[in-house]
Amino acid sequence: MNTQETIDMFDKYVIANYARLPRVIVKGEGCYMYDADGNKILDMFPGWAVSAIGHCHPKVVEALRKQAGELLHIDNTFYSEPQGQLAKLLSERAFGGKCFFCNSGAEANEAALKLARLHTPSEKYKFITAEGSFHGRTLATMTATAQPKHHEGLLPLLPGFVYVPFNDVTALEAAFSDEVAAVMVEPIQGEGGINIAAKEYLQAIRRLCDESGAVMILDEVQTGIGRTGKWFGYQHFDVEPDIMTMAKALGGGVAIGAMMAKEEVAASLVPGKHASTFGGNALACAAAVAVIEAIEEGNLLEHAAELGQYTKDKLEQLRQKHFIIESVRGVGLMIGVQLTSPGTEIVDKCLEKGLRINCTQSTVLRFMPPMIATKEQIDQAVDILDAVLTESSK
């Protein structure tokens, strides 16, 4: 089937809720993807931050093959080894909490919000979230997402959500009350434009939650699993959440989400209160176990930290040259290039030249290279962006 035939099939049978580029991707390998017309594309935003250790990592593929030959899925009426193993690996690399598994970031956040309500007294029903946040597309997580554009046509929202400006301690204090069940934020806002939390901000959330008996939730769906050069984003900020959620990079390309909660909080999630049919299935968990092992065997955390600095330096050099770049910010391999004008066309032109990056909030280019990328690949990516910016300024 050629590109046009595939597109025609989509037009006829797939709901058009995505603005798709006219390319059919047929293969992914490491830092590259290939389209049906034979183009090779350097992927600096692999799978929307999902394929963080590259496309089709051999360890993940091997683990999937092996697991598929033994057991794909068994319901949570029973125990299965991969799920327990994954929970252990995650717990040991975070704050020692217990895990609940599901299939996506939104679902992990739903679980976190429900657990916060279940763990706190019934008069606590409010959730504080930050402007510019992104927490998912289900009704509760969309309501938690404090961006009006995501609410259009869907009012009224769920009650109980209070929005505060990100990184504003005074506003946070003012919004707090005994009715607050939880505060949920991303340590680094992703879709919101790579906005990094101030250490004092996260620590203020911790203090206010402790004082009032509320639950601190960190949404690590995008920052988790090594992206920032540490296992989890919060580990840069000298603070520990009560609940943390993850998804995207966790399965190496296989759908999986997880919520981790401190043991005393986790104890409030008893049988009957929450569940997910596919959650913790053997195949997805085996993939995630392989992801964690691959990160460790390849020393990819250290590499992500170092390569992230290298990438930022290179982009910073571009800033000296192109006035359209206002600033470069990020932690590890989660990098945003703030432009002074819209960047969608730049992203499209980069793709024409064989580079995939992303643009969010209309003026922030997102670079989220795979953790296995080399300096040469970063150089290549930055050179392409350089060429596109030079052409566009003419």
Ligand X SMILES: *Cc1c(COP(=O)(O)O)cnc(C)c1O
**Cβ proximity of 163 and 129 under 8 Å:** yes
Stretch (H or E) spanning 330: strand 325-331
CB of 121 to ligand X, least distance (A): 27
Q: Give the binding range for ligand X (CB under 6 A) out of 26-34, 93-101, 185-193, 375-383.
A: 185-193
User: Which residues between 323 and 362 bind ligand X (CB under 6 A)?
Assistant: none
What are the tokens at 320?
């000296």
C-alpha 363/C-alpha 354 separation (Å) is: 21
Q: Give the binding range for ligand X (CB under 6 A) out of 172-180, 218-226, 307-315, 380-388.
A: 218-226
Q: CA dist 97 to 45, 51, 60, 214, Å? A: 30, 25, 25, 17
CB of 191 to ligand X, least distance (A): 6
Among 196, 225, 247, 368, binds ligand X (CB under 6 A): 247
Among 42, 64, 99, 106, binds ligand X (CB under 6 A): 106
Residue placing its CB nearer to ligand X in the complex, 219 or 242: 219
Contact between 186 and ligand X by CB under 6 A: the answer reads: yes
Q: CA dist 169 to 198, 220, 393, Å? A: 10, 21, 40
What are the tokens at 125?
């029903």
Contact between 289 and ligand X by CB under 6 A: the answer reads: no
C-alpha 329/C-alpha 322 separation (Å) is: 16
Contact between 222 and ligand X by CB under 6 A: the answer reads: yes
Contact between 243 and ligand X by CB under 6 A: the answer reads: no
DSSP annotation of 254 reads B
Size of the site for ligand X (CB under 6 A): 15
C-alpha 160/C-alpha 179 separation (Å) is: 9
Site string for ligand X, 130-169 (x = CB under 6 A): ----xxx---------------------------------
Residue placing its CB nearer to ligand X in the complex, 167 or 222: 222
C-alpha 394/C-alpha 391 separation (Å) is: 5
Among 97, 105, 187, 193, binds ligand X (CB under 6 A): 105
C-alpha 167/C-alpha 60 separation (Å) is: 37
User: Which residues between 13 and 72 bind ligand X (CB under 6 A)?
Assistant: none
Q: What residues line the site for ligand X (CB under 6 A)?
A: 104-106, 109, 134-136, 186, 190-191, 219, 221-222, 247-248
